[in-house]
Each structure stands twice: as C-alpha cells, then as structure tokens.
Structure 1
Amino acid sequence: MGPPPPSATPAGARRVHHRRVPANLTAQYKDAELRLRQATSHDEKVEALREMLALLPKHKGTEKLHADLKKRLAKLEEEREHAARSGSHHVDLGHVRREGAGQWALVGPPNAGKSSLLAALTHAHPEIAEYPFTTHVPQPGMMPFEDVQVQLVDTPAIAPGHVEPFLPALVRGADGVVIVLDVAADDLEASLVGTLDVLLHGHVWPEGRPVPDGASPLVVPRPVLVAANKHDLDDAEGTFSQLAREAVGPGLPFFPVSATRGDGLDGLRPWLFRALRKIRVHTKEPGKKADLGKPFVLPEGAAVEALAALVHQDLAARLKFARVWGHARFDGQQVDRHHVLADGDVVELHA
C-alpha cells in the first residue's frame, strides 16, 4: 500500500511522539505522581518529587525519567534558595533558616506549653496565652548551651482536624523533634498518637521505634523526645509523670519539665545538644594561644580536612598537616587530613 495522498497530511503538521513511560511503575509511585499534579505549594511539589525519585525503579528504561525528576527537584530547590537570598516577600512557612549547632522543632497539642518552653530555654518572646492556637507561624529562638547555641522552633498546635499544611515539611527539615505534652492532660496518649502521625506524614520517625509497616521509603529516623510539661502541677509522688511515662511507652526519651518553674530544664539542655551528634573544635595559629571563643561545629566523625574547609574554602586543598591538642595521643601531635576529631579538640592547621 502506497503512501497517503498529500491531502491526508495537512501542511505544517508535525508528528506527535508519545513519550514511552516504563510499565513497571508501582502504585505508590503513581500516587506520588498524582500528588505532584495536584500540588499547589512549593513544599508539596518538593515532597512529591522526592518520593517519586525514591520509588522509581532503577534500570535502563527509567534513566531519562530519573534525570528529568532530578532536574525538576533541583530547580525547585534553587528557586527556594534564590528567594531566600533576594529577600523575597514570599514566605515559605515550611522552611526556617537553620542557625547555631542544630535545629529542633517543638510540636504538640494546644495548650501543652510549647511557647512557654521556648521562652524558658531561649531569649525568644513568643505570644503566650491560655487559649489554644496562639501560635500561628513558626517562632525560632536560640538556646545557649556552654559555648554554642541550639535553635528551637515553636510551631502551631496539632489537633484532630487541625494541622497547618506546612508543618510536616518543617518537621522534616529539622534535625530533631521535641514533642511537648501536658503531663496532666486526660488526652495525653491521643495527643501523642496524633503528633506522631504528623511526623510520619513528614517522613520522620523516632530513632528508638520501629517504622510502621507500609510507611513511605522516604521515612528517616531522627532523634525525638517527649517533654512532659507542667510538671509543677504534679503531686509529691509524681503521679501524673508516672502515668504519662507509661502512656508514652518505650523508645522515646521522656523528660518531665516545667516551663514556668524550670524543673528539668538543666537536664534537657545538654541532651538537646548531644542528640545532634555534633562536636566543637577550636583553632589556633602557630606560636599563639588557642582561640577559645566561638568554636567550629562539625558532625561526629569529622576529620581535619572538614575543619579546614570550614575555616576557608581553599584551605582544605592546600592543607599539609595539622597539630592537635585534646584527644590526640599527646599535645601537639602532628596528624594528617584524615585524622578524626573529637569534641573539645584544639587544632593548628598548616598549609
């Protein structure tokens, strides 16, 4: 059969090439793809793209799709950074700029005392009232601990049928989560379950608990603790605290505290820093005393070259050796760039 007559193909018409989509995409992937098409906020799009990347089968037939998804995700993240640098009036409530040694999100039900705890631990002055839902937007504050500061972020309350849409993304962006509960509340256990559901929606789960069956492959373990607030209302035997600890169950560190009276806060501060798994390192110049002011903060297991990169971008490439005081075999020990540092070390870098 010969070619169709010229009239069958209108002038200027183009052939339509349909993109071939891999046939073995899972139902979970298709659900994430549907959420991406329906997403209206920046954070919803980023979350859906990340899940699609995690769920996409890895083989020859998905290489182009994988590259396309990564490109789209990179563009969204670049737009966020550009907006932050340019001081755009658009406010992304799901993202609070990290400061200090690390960031903790304070989450929980109405009137549990999250804002009071923030005020007690930091120099922030959030609005505090007896009525629920006083906090409408994230409120950061800096908690001093020895020679560093740790960022705490107060968040809007979590209640049945009332969760701010940006909250799961904010929780995912934090280094850890403090669940603030009212130690004397009748619905403490239900409040805990509702809060953990929000964490799971943000793909975050407590390190000490097994991840539920059917959870997203994007779920990551993070340090999560329970601050059982209003301990000052407890009786002499600590009955409320005992019942609250039983309701919380195993796998979650439990701190009875009082934001108003200060109970338990001295033990909470060091835990919040140590759970970040960070080390503090000071530097010194040859022949001079160590600079014991603000330390450099690095993740546990960081080596000398990571410190050099923090001091100056080019120093890591030019680094020859270093001398270490503190946890070395002897003071001033000469080490190479791969030497692992410890909390409290003093380091002299030689390039």
Structure 2
Amino acid sequence: MPANVPPRYKDAELRLHRATTREEKEDALREMIALLPHHKGTDKLLGDLRARLSKLEEEATHAHRPGRRAEVGQVVREGAGQWVMIGPANSGKSSLLAALTHAKPEIAEYPFTTRDPLPGMMEFEDVQVQLVDTPAVGGAQVPAWLPQLVHGADGVLIVLDVAADDLEAGLRSSLELLERARVRPAGRAAAAGASPLERAVPVVVLVNRCDLDDDGTFAALAREAVPPDLFMFSVSAVRGDGLEGLRAVLFRSLHRIRVHTKEPGHAADGGKPFVLPEGATVHDLADRVHHDLAERLKFARLWGPHARFEGQQVDRGHVLGDGDVVELHS
C-alpha cells in the first residue's frame, strides 16, 4: 500500500474487510477510489480497486436479469425521478404511498408493517415520479440495505405524524439515517471532513395527519423542531389535504424540465415529454433522442412559454425551459 494514503482511506479499507453485503463492499470501494491519491505509484492499486468494483456491479446487473431474484432492498428507478420515503413507525408513509400512487401497501395501526421497499408511481401532469416506501426508522435495527437506497435516491421525503408525542425523536432518527447514508440536504454546505461520496439531494419534511391539527398548533411546534433550512409541508393522507400541492413540490424539487419535440410541418408529439435536468440544452435533447442526431444537429426551432416568438431559431447550446416544444434540424 502506498505510504501517503490519508487516514480516511484506511478507514474505508477496514470497512471493506469487514463488509458482509455487496452494497457495503461497493460503498467502501467507491470511497477508497475517491480518496486514493492518483499518481504513477498508485496506478496498479487503482486498477485493482476499479476491477473489484466493476465485478461487484456486474454481479448486481446479473441479479436483475430474467429468471433471477433481485437483491433485497434494490428498487429499479423509473419515471422522472425517485423519492425515498423515510420516517418513524405509524407516521403514515404507507397511507401516503397508497393515496398518491396505485401501489397497494399493507397498512395497519401496529408498527413496522413495512419490511421491504415498496415503489409506486405518482402522477404529476404529464409525467410520473417514483415514490418508495421503506421500513420505519427508530426503535428497531435499520435494514442494511436502507442507507444505500437512500444514498442513491434523487430526493428524500421525511414523513412525520404531526400529532405524535415523539415527533422530535422520529425526526432525529431520520436525520441520523441521512448521515449514515452520506446524504445532505441540497443547499446545505458540506461539513469539514465530509465523505467524498456524500451527495446533496432535495430533502422535504412532510408532516402528515394535518386533519388532526385544524388550528395549526401541532404544525407550528413541528416547524420549531425541524431545521430551518429544510422545507416542511403539511398533508393528510386520510382526508387528502395538500396532496395535489405535494405532487408539484416533489416534481419541482427535482429540478427537472419537460420538453416535447415536433417534426417540421407537424404538431408537437402528443406522447410523454422528454424529462431533462434544468440547464439542459438543445444538444442534450438531441442526444437523448438519438446520438447520431446530436452529431448532425445544425439548429432548432422553439415554441412555447420561453420562445421570444413562435418558431424562434436557436442554436445547439440554447438552454431549454419547462414546457418548451422543439423542432430539431440536422
């Protein structure tokens, strides 16, 4: 081993030796690769680490092929983005999943009903967003796969019962899970010494059962407990309060845009839009349609809310906006 590796590299190496699951091994290897100084003396070691990680990732790919059972805790990402729901027992995560999607989770008043991740697709206008229900945090051992699932999500939804006596404890357990998953709320600066694998993603605190809080007293107390830089939103899965607004919040917090294409002389396609990250350009859209089209692209014409006039000609570097209709010319 090179003598100049940082202490955190050695910590990651120790975790690799102690790892018992594929996810734990992948996690440790990724951190070792990120922390290893890159120079001629480490080339062989770096190649070995990458080869080991590649082998583990290939094993995960084989696990999803027909005829093979997917590993526990893995959820195939679908739609415009993936939100993982976490929170204490009986906060209403499963009820929310049922109210917002076509999924049919087991719902009961006793704790820890959910044992495995359960995805559902939430409709918002012309797109769908994936929500994933997970086992409760706090009061029981967190499944080994849960931090990895949270780490890979596009957003995290912390669900709390607004009227619960232990709301602060449930919030604390959820925030501790974020730390373990190496996730920090988007917009929050990284702490000194943070892992190079730490991800910044949108985090929304959802206080459920506002039907029990008609005067807003419980919500006000919850707001005092929630860190001021976290967005808090009130809903009722039972009565439906706030659910339509929540759909918009979850999509817009992902910072995605929806773009339709059209052929010259024809109306815009009536199918699902292309979903791209904010800041995407005409070239990015063309590449999403087909790589060869992006290579041959000359210019585009633009319709919709962000065009200066209908059919505006723009170049490949033009930044697109939500709701644009684009005609690509090669």
TM-score by length of 2: 0.95
Of 253, 277, 286, the match for 2:255: 277
1:308 aligns to what? 286
How big is the alpha-carbon RMSD for the aligned residues of Structure 1 and Structure 2?
A: 1.6
SS in 2 for 1:165: coil
1:18 aligns to what? none
Of 188, 191, 195, the match for 1:216: 195
8 Å CA contact 1:108, 1:114 repeated in 2: yes
Deviations 1:251-306 (A, max 9, x none): 11001111101111122111100111111000111111111331111111111122
| Pairwise CA distance, 1:211 | 4.0
Alpha-carbon distance in structure 1 between the residues aligned to 2:106 and 2:159: 17
8 Å CA contact 2:156, 2:203 repeated in 1: yes
8 Å CA contact 1:160, 1:194 repeated in 2: no
Alpha-carbon distance in structure 1 between the residues aligned to 2:36 and 2:176: 25
8 Å CA contact 2:91, 2:208 repeated in 1: yes
Structure 2: runs of 5 or more not aligned: none
Go from structure 1 to structure 2 and tell me whether the alpha carbon gap of 1:94 and 1:55 turns closer, same or farther (over 3 Å shift). Answer: farther
| Pairwise CA distance, 1:94 | 3.5
| Pairwise CA distance, 1:88 | 4.8
Does structure 1 residue 336 correspond to structure 2 residue 315? Answer: yes
**Which amino acid in the other structure matches residue 149 of structure 2?**
L
Of 27, 32, 36, the match for 1:52: 32
Alpha-carbon distance in structure 2 between the residues aligned to 1:272 and 1:310: 23
Does structure 1 residue 92 correspond to structure 2 residue 65? Answer: no
Alpha-carbon distance in structure 2 between the residues aligned to 1:311 and 1:208: 32
Of 165, 173, 181, the match for 1:194: 173
1:79 aligns to what? 59
| Pairwise CA distance, 1:212 | 4.4
8 Å CA contact 2:73, 2:116 repeated in 1: no
Moved more, 249-258 or 211-220: 211-220
**Which amino acid in the other structure matches residue 78 of structure 1?**
E
Alpha-carbon distance in structure 2 between the residues aligned to 1:95 and 1:270: 26
Alpha-carbon distance in structure 2 between the residues aligned to 1:149 and 1:261: 22
Alpha-carbon distance in structure 2 between the residues aligned to 1:208 and 1:247: 19
1:139 aligns to what? 118
SS in 2 for 1:291: coil
| Pairwise CA distance, 1:111 | 0.6
Alpha-carbon distance in structure 2 between the residues aligned to 1:187 and 1:28: 36
Alpha-carbon distance in structure 2 between the residues aligned to 1:171 and 1:93: 14
**Which amino acid in the other structure matches residue 169 of structure 2?**
A
2:158 aligns to what? 179
**Which amino acid in the other structure matches residue 264 of structure 1?**
G
1:319 aligns to what? 297
8 Å CA contact 1:226, 1:253 repeated in 2: yes
Of 154, 158, 162, the match for 2:141: 162
8 Å CA contact 2:123, 2:129 repeated in 1: yes
8 Å CA contact 1:43, 1:94 repeated in 2: no
Question: Identity of aligned pairs, percent?
Answer: 67
| Pairwise CA distance, 1:230 | 1.1
Residues 115-130 of structure 1: matches in 2 within 5 Å?
115-130=94-109
Alpha-carbon distance in structure 1 between the residues aligned to 2:59 and 2:262: 39
TM-score by length of 1: 0.89
Structure 1: runs of 5 or more not aligned: 1-20
8 Å CA contact 2:63, 2:71 repeated in 1: no
SS in 2 for 1:314: helix
8 Å CA contact 1:208, 1:252 repeated in 2: no
Aligned positions, number: 329
Alpha-carbon distance in structure 1 between the residues aligned to 2:187 and 2:314: 36
Go from structure 1 to structure 2 and tell me whether the alpha carbon gap of 1:34 and 1:88 turns closer, same or farther (over 3 Å shift). Answer: farther
Greater gyration radius: 1
Of 270, 294, 299, the match for 2:277: 299
Alpha-carbon distance in structure 2 between the residues aligned to 1:238 and 1:32: 46
Alpha-carbon distance in structure 1 between the residues aligned to 2:199 and 2:319: 26
Alpha-carbon distance in structure 2 between the residues aligned to 1:346 and 1:45: 44
| Pairwise CA distance, 1:208 | 4.1
1:241 aligns to what? 219
SS in 2 for 1:292: coil
Alpha-carbon distance in structure 2 between the residues aligned to 1:91 and 1:39: 20
Deviations 1:314-351 (A, max 9, x none): 22122222111122332112222222111111111122
